[in-house]
Amino acid sequence: MKNLIPNIFLLIYLALITSCQFDPYAGDLTTEQPKREDVIGVYQFKEQTISQIQIDKRSQRATITLKSDGTYQANNIPNVFGGPNAENHKYISAKGSWKIETIGAVDNGWGHPKSNWGITLTSIDESLTNISFTGKKKPYGLMVTFDDPDLAYGYAF
């Protein structure tokens, strides 16, 4: 019986430190719908937090271009997502259409989620179909997250 109380506190402590934390990018995500004209442009690759492998010069020049006619062009995005063709296709390039949509929600921890705005892309690798906007105003950025958002695996443009 005298070991029961310390064991209960130990279980509570372990539950607290191993529970879901938070998405470290959540505060950067766009929660108000941006105007279409404010997101048109070229987004240059900034960094990735998925792999410890050094990104080569070609990938450092990766871009996603959103055009005013609703089409996009993605060039040389490093394929570090580990899909089945990653070894043979080290870079992802594609053309297709894009549109602004809510692609998720950001919760402040008190049960009041806000819409997370971003873009959906067609005709591209599945890992890149939903991309979040970052920032509260123009110029916006792009954030591609992979796996559990708490892990902070992603690309920043």
Interatomic CA distance for residues 66 and 98, integer angstroms? 7
The answer as to whether 15 is a domain residue is no
What total of structural domains would you count in the chain?
A: 1
Domain that holds residue 97: 23-156
The answer as to whether 14 is a domain residue is no
The answer as to whether 86 is a domain residue is yes
> What does residue 61 show for φ and ψ, rounded to 5 degrees?
-100, 15
Q: Is the pTM for the entire model greater than 0.85?
A: no
The answer as to whether 101 is a domain residue is yes
- Report H helices in the chain: 4-18, 36-39, 57-60
pLDDT, position 95: 98
104-113 pLDDT, tens per residue? 888 767 778 8
Contact residues for 48 (Cβ-Cβ < 8 A; gap 6+):
55, 78, 80, 154, 155, 156
12-68 pLDDT, tens per residue? 544 444 444 455 667 788 999 999 999 999 999 888 776 666 666 666 789 999 999
Per-residue DSSP letter, 29: B
- State whether residue 60 is helix, strand or coil: helix
DSSP per-residue codes, 88-128: T--EEEEEEEEEEEEEEEE--SSS--EEEEEEEESSS-GGG
Please report how many Cα atoms fall inside a 13 Å half-sphere around the Cα of residue 76, on the Cβ side.
Answer: 13
Average pLDDT of the segment spanning 117-132: 93
